[in-house]
Structure 1
Amino acid sequence: MSAETDAAERYFSSIAAALGGLEVFMRDDRSPLYRHGIVARIVAEYLTRLEKSFSCWRNRLGFQETFRISRAESGYPVFQNLLELENDRRQADQRLANIPAPDELRAEMADFILRRKEFPKALQKSMAERLYLEDVKSEETFGPFSLSETVKVSVNPKSGLPYYLVHWAAFDGAANLPVVYMVTVEDSTEAMVRQLVIKDGKLNEKVDIPLPVEGLLNPELAHKFDDFTEKNSAYSLAPMTIAVNLDRDFETLHPKQLRRVVLGPFYTAGITENNSTVSEVLAKVRKPENAWLLTWTIQEVYSKGEKPGRKGLFSSEKTTQEFFINTDDLEATRQGVSSYENHALVPHEAYQALYAAGEVQKVFSGYKVHILSNGQVISDV
């Protein structure tokens, strides 16, 4: 096995273990994140897509030897890999039609070995490509941009307006990071209020809403909302900026809370170079499959009140949200958020190595640490 192949195997094994561990944490109702129940479930869905993407990329190496990751920054694959995955999905049926069926390929491989007494590399690549294409078209991967879904509908008893919980995701091409967005938004569109809210200020149970609903529940605004989310999903945009833009761009949508979950960076020994201290310590971990560290950040912006709109003869102003920024916290101010949480997931052996090196405080300062041990996640260490 070449050094490049060995490094690729270690990388894919490490990221698979990290995402699998994070999914265990997200789906565990005992985890501290589960106080946000639905938030954890939404993120877990996108983790499943990410895991599928990495499984496909791993298979792709069987016939395509180029695969680049952002070694010095995010530790994730570069954006080009996502575009190639999307392109392969679209062309899968066409390309499969030109590759012999698996049984036919196996027969050709056996015949080649018997006649030539050597391994049929070209046929093996054809088999690898067929298996990859069948895989890539079978389930949803984490794409460059995932359209929004409405997953919850209720009525705010104070305002009497319906509100939705909507989520979407993007893979930021500049930072090479997967980001998941969730917004709770009230809708004052007259037609939606009339349809969804009954006289006592409760949700009209007679309206059948087959959740999850693709896109924003309001059909009048669904296309515009999708355009907005696609243009406002960059990691470089502060959550505050996105919330203000949403509030400004939609007359009858009133964002009450916006969450962004940034799934990374990812660190793995001997491959990523995004933190010298972490890299040095992880290099000392005995088992390469345990020499990794995954971090994620949950950012939140919420409205602390509203500035009432006014309607005049010659001009009018819409109701606008007054978003809270925690100016007592310099980091919250820098990020443009009301609050944030930094999390880190690390295998038990890697945590022990960091502890033995006296680096735990330095590496995990400001982080909530979660340790993966024997398929379980231990928090609050």
Structure 2
Amino acid sequence: MTSTADPAARYFDAITSALNGLDIFMRDERSPLYRHDLVAKVLSEYVVRLENSFACWRNRLGFMDSFRISRAESGFPVFQNVLELENDKRHADKRLSAIPEPADLRAEMADFILRQRAMPDALRKSMAERLYLEEVAAGLVFAPFVLPKTIRVAVNPKTKRPLYVVHWGAFDGSANLPIVYMATVEDSSDSMVNALVTKDGKLDATVDIPLPVEGLLNPDLAHRFDDFAEKNSVYSLSPATIAGNLDKDFDTLHPKQLRRIVLGPFYSTGITEHNSTVADVLSRVRRAENAWLLTWTVQEVYSKAEQPAKRGLFSSQPAREEFHINTDDLEAARTGVSHYEKHALIPHEAYQVLYAAGEAQKIFSGYQVHIISNGQVISDV
């Protein structure tokens, strides 16, 4: 049976173990994500942000009494925690200036203990707050919105247009889920075509592009693209809708592929309540740090054709994309995607308990299951 220790400690132990397992999964050459090295590389950046966020939240409990998670839905922290972390990061330096240095605090604590024969709770909380703010100020955290970044540039030999791979992140405030977006976008802007494409339709090797570039590579559209990404990253919008909005809002940007990775739900015994069967079985796992299950979904929509621009005397129509929706699959049609994958990551001990209980096949129906065992990944079970 799992430990009856402090629920917050159990939760943080479990989510830390899950994120460590996801990191192992992404780096394992046998895992599906490793075969898409760019996807794994991008996702790992956001996993680091999540790891840093959870480390900060754990330290925050040293001087704050509560921490709320979405127990009945995502299993991740509620959005208010994300907003507070972002606000604390913004004001960390100012707050740190009002708290004594660690060495001074330790000296005061030692003096208090010697004189009062009691624990200096106020000083202990000040120390905890200082350590929290130092970590918040130093590390990348998963913000409500993580600005776009261009990580790859090429040229489509058919269209002779520059092609960018851009990613950004969002923590959805309604679903309480961390989401990662990746888009492959062609740019027909005259300025970028002239700057990046040679006469023979190749990327100009003489142009220095210091990747990664903060924001969209096209400087004329970068701020607009940031605004678009922030407004169109909510979980309730389908990938097809987001790609279609991008196509309509930017006449010279042509989205060829949009990938969305939704992390969660996360299940932890004695904490989350969104699946009674999973909760019941996980409660039988002996070691609390192995009593968890992390799921995620990869959704993708891609362009199957481009309608060429139409130019006339009285009206014109820019080039528009035709996105493929897989209507042969009910789930793909419902969610507005060309393709999707559902993944589940679980420790070996927990999987053994699920399997022994006869629940594994039902719980993991439709999922690609990945088992963490002795620091390695076992997939396709």
Give TM-score scaled by structure 2 length: 0.98
Give 1:47's aligned residue. 47
Instruction: Please state if 1:125 is matched with 2:125.
Output: yes
CA distance in 1, matches of 2:36, 2:364: 23
Match of 1:279 in 2: 279
Q: More displaced, 367-376 or 339-348? A: 367-376
Superposed displacement of residue 309, structure 1: 1.6
Letter of the 2:112 counterpart: F
Aligned to 2:147: 147
Percent identity (aligned) = 70
CA deviation after TM superposition for structure 1 residue 29, in Å: 2.9
Q: Partner of 2:62 in structure 1?
A: 62
Question: How far has the Cα of 1:146 moved from its partner?
Answer: 0.4
Contact 2:73 2:274 survives alignment (8 Å): yes
1:223 maps to 223
Show structure 2 runs of 5+ residues with no match.
Answer: none
Kept in 1, the 8 Å contact 2:79–2:172? The answer is yes
2: CA distance, partners of 1:106 / 1:120: 10
For residues 20-35 of structure 1, the aligned pairs below 5 Å read 20-35=20-35
Shift of residue 159, structure 1, vs aligned partner: 1.0
Distance, in Å, in 1 between the alignment partners of 2:375 and 2:7 is 24
Are residues 1:169 and 2:169 paired?
Answer: yes
Shift of 1:152: 0.2
Q: Secondary structure at the match of 1:284?
A: coil
Aligned length: 379
**In structure 1, what is the Cα distance between the partners aligned to 2:253 and 2:227?**
15
Post-superposition CA distance 1:286-313 (Å, at most 9, x none)? 1111100000000000001111120011
Give the C-alpha shift of residue 378 in structure 1: 1.4
For the residue of structure 2 that corresponds to 1:286, the secondary structure is coil
Distance 1:137 1:28 in 2: 31
Correspondence for 2:101: 101
Counterpart residue number, 1:71: 71
Structure 1 gaps of 5+ residues are none
Distance in 2 between residues matched to 1:376 and 1:62, nearest whole Å:
34
CA drift at 1:34 = 1.9
1:360 aligns with 2:363: no
Q: Is the 8 A contact 2:290 2:350 kept in 1?
A: yes
Return the alpha-carbon distance in structure 2 between the equivalents of residues 309 and 174 of structure 1.
38
CA shift for structure 1 position 35: 2.1
> Would you say the 8 A contact 2:179–2:263 is kept in 1?
yes
Report runs of 4+ in structure 1 exceeding 3 Å deviation: none
Per-residue deviation, 1:28 = 2.4
Residue 282 of structure 1: CA displacement? Answer: 0.4
